[in-house]
């Protein structure tokens, strides 16, 4: 391993070590909050016709009769062995359920985020360079609409227009229409797996199913990205180094993209990380509207029946995702601006 790579690896390992207290806190809080949920899972799984004795037997079978500290000790012991528990609703291990559903949520969220960036970043740049023009006003309208419209309303409206009225969108019934077979599982991303198989018909079918939910989520996420891009570009364009670059005779394209946009990228990347986190939470409603089999709908179904293991597994998976995302953002900072050093002491 080269000398420059060793400090970078050591810094990454140190950052990972610093997240251990966060993960421990998430485990404790999620355990306590799930036990504080209203309702008794033993009553639900015993059935509506169960008597008190049957409910008590169910509670003992589920281990809910033990003291809270003993339940927590058992949970942590299983967690250290990589066992997230058994989902009472699906009857499968929680780790298996999350592994099956997480790619669906990530495919939807990442596609929506990519679509939002393609629209929001150029729109923010144009609004900053043409401050006060009609493009700037369009940017403000888009930002306001994106923030004010709930995702479930946008999704239902798009379904009504493009599926019910125009008939150009497929029915909102999950990741693939029933006429297609699921592609072989490689990554869990249907677009990637179908492309790897060379099954372009299934790829087109998966893309058609993905468009409306991705657009729905993109309309929600593009608002903060466009607003931050506009604000960061305005701050960069008013800086002394931009005036110096213009005075030196550099082309407008070089000044705009080589200097202003590169310096405006840091707050935009930070916003992207926050938006990704929000989108993973907001896609719960999108998944329910479009019958998308992601972890958001899985968590909602688990909450309804107080499926403790499933809820705790979902919270822990989300926490690990956010930790990984923050690490990637730190690494992206150093790639955008070499003056920022990624060290173990940061």
Ordered by where they begin, the domains of the chain are: 5-80 (no CATH), 97-304 (1.10.3720.10)
| Terminal C-alpha separation, the chain | 22
Instruction: Name residue 86's beta-bridge partners.
Output: 93
pLDDT digits (tens, 9 = 90+) for 220-262: 888 888 888 888 888 888 888 788 888 887 777 888 877 788 7
Rounded distance, CA 219 to CA 144, Å?
11
Rounded distance, CA 161 to CA 321, Å?
35
Task: Give pLDDT < 50 ranges for the chain.
Answer: 1-3
Residue-level pLDDT at 12: 67
Rounded distance, CA 27 to CA 30, Å?
5
Residues 6+ apart with CB under 8 A from 122: none
Residue-level pLDDT at 1: 46
Residue-level pLDDT at 48: 66
| Cβ contact 172:289 at 8 Å | yes
Predicted structure pTM score: 0.81
| Cβ contact 219:146 at 8 Å | yes
Residue for token pair 């058992």: 74
Q: Is 93 helix (H, G, I), strand (E, B) or coil?
A: strand
Query: What six digits make up the tokens of 45?
Result: 């799984």
Question: Whose CA is closest to 186, among 199, 204, 177?
Answer: 199
For CA atoms 194, 200, 201, 207, the dihedral sign is: positive
Secondary structure letter of residue 260 according to DSSP: I
Q: Would you mind telling me the total number of residues written for the chain in this entry?
A: 346
């Amino acid at each position: 391993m080269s000398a420059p790579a060793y400090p970078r690896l050591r810094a990454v390992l140190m950052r990972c070590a610093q997240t251990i207290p966060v993960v421990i806190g998430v485990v404790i809080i999620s355990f306590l909050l799930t036990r504080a949920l209203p309702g008794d899972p033993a009553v639900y799984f015993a059935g509506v016709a169960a008597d008190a004795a049957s409910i008590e037997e169910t509670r003992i079978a589920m281990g809910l009769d033990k003291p809270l500290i003993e339940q927590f000790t058992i949970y942590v012991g299983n967690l250290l062995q990589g066992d997230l528990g058994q989902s009472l609703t699906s009857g499968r291990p929680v780790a298996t359920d999350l592994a099956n559903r997480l790619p669906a949520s990530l495919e939807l969220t990442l596609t929506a985020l990519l679509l939002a960036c393609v629209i929001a970043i150029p729109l923010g740049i144009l609004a900053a360079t043409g401050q006060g023009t009609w493009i700037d006003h369009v940017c403000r309208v888009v930002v306001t609409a994106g923030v004010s419209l709930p995702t479930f309303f946008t999704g239902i409206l798009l379904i009504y227009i493009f599926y019910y009225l125009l008939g150009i969108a497929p029915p909102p019934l999950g990741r693939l229409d029933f006429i297609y077979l699921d592609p072989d599982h490689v990554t869990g991303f249907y677009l990637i797996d179908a492309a790897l198989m060379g099954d372009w018909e299934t790829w087109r079918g998966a893309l058609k199913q993905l468009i409306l939910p991705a657009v729905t989520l993109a309309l929600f996420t593009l608002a903060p990205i466009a607003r931050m891009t506009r604000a960061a570009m305005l701050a960069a364009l008013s800086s002394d180094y931009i005036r110096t670059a213009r005075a030196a005779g550099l082309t407008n394209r070089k000044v705009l993209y080589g200097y202003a946009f590169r310096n405006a990228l840091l707050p935009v990347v930070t916003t992207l990380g926050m938006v990704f986190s929000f989108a993973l939470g907001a896609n719960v409603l999108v998944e329910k509207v479009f019958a998308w089999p992601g972890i958001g709908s899985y968590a909602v179904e688990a909450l309804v029946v107080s499926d403790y293991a499933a809820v705790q597994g979902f919270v822990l998976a989300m926490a690990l995702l956010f930790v990984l995302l923050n690490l990637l953002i730190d690494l992206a900072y150093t790639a955008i601006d070499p003056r920022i050093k990624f060290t173990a002491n940061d």
